[in-house]
A = this chain, B = another copy of it.
Amino acid sequence: MDGAAAAARRVISALLRTGDDTAADMAGMAKQLHAVADQLEEHAPARETRLVNMWRGDGITRHDPVTGPENALAPPLRLTGRADGSVEGTVTLGIAYQGPPGCVHGGVSALLLDHTFGVANHWAGLSGMTAELTLRYRRPSPLFEPLTITGRQISVDGAKIRTVGGIAAGGRDCVTAEGLFIAKHLPRPR
């Protein structure tokens, strides 16, 4: 399934890279893509069943829209826990994540950081749900260049978890952020 999701990522990007002003047969592409979706949907279990299945186990999930290898929306970002308690990953974003010309959409940066903070909290041993997130945009984050994404839990006070991190390119901060999380989780469906 990871392979099919990776192929779907190629399609998303290739659609945007090609555009309407070419000889590409977009109607034919749509037809082929609908055929794939039809074949998949024939095998899809009931939605409620799938919502249980996809949360099976207690570890990290594989379907989220940031790191999930099964989710074609995800770049995917791969995060690694470090000995100092932080997590870090490097990702190069393409045309589908564009905001200003040639740059990462500010909201995409927020998406990556919110998720990274969640993983950082998990890595530090206590995670929860986002209560507040503040992002400061210091310079545009470039597309097509490696971005370093970091997150680190800095304090736990009862159920209140504070986490900081950011996005850097070429050693310079592009976005810095801080989050307040509450140590609580919605139950995994069973």
Q: Give residues in A with beta carbon < 8 Å to B.
A: 1, 3-8, 10-27, 29-37, 39-45, 47, 50-51, 53-55, 63-66, 70-73, 95-103, 105-108, 110-115, 129-137, 140, 144, 185-189
Contacts and interface: CB of A to CB of B under 8 A. Distances in A.
A40 B63 CA distance: 26
Given A64-B99, A108-B111, 17 more contacts: A1-B20, A3-B30, A4-B26, A7-B33, A7-B37, A8-B12, A14-B41, A19-B53, A24-B43, A29-B36, A29-B39, A33-B36, A51-B102, A66-B105, A72-B72, A101-B186, A105-B115
B186 A102 contact: yes
A107 B114 contact: yes
Given A15-B72, A186-B103, A97 B136 contact: no
A10 B37 contact: yes
Contacts of A42: 24
A105 B61 CA distance: 13
A139 to B, nearest CB: 10
A35 B25 CA distance: 13
Contacts of A53: 19, 21
A25 to B, nearest CB: 8
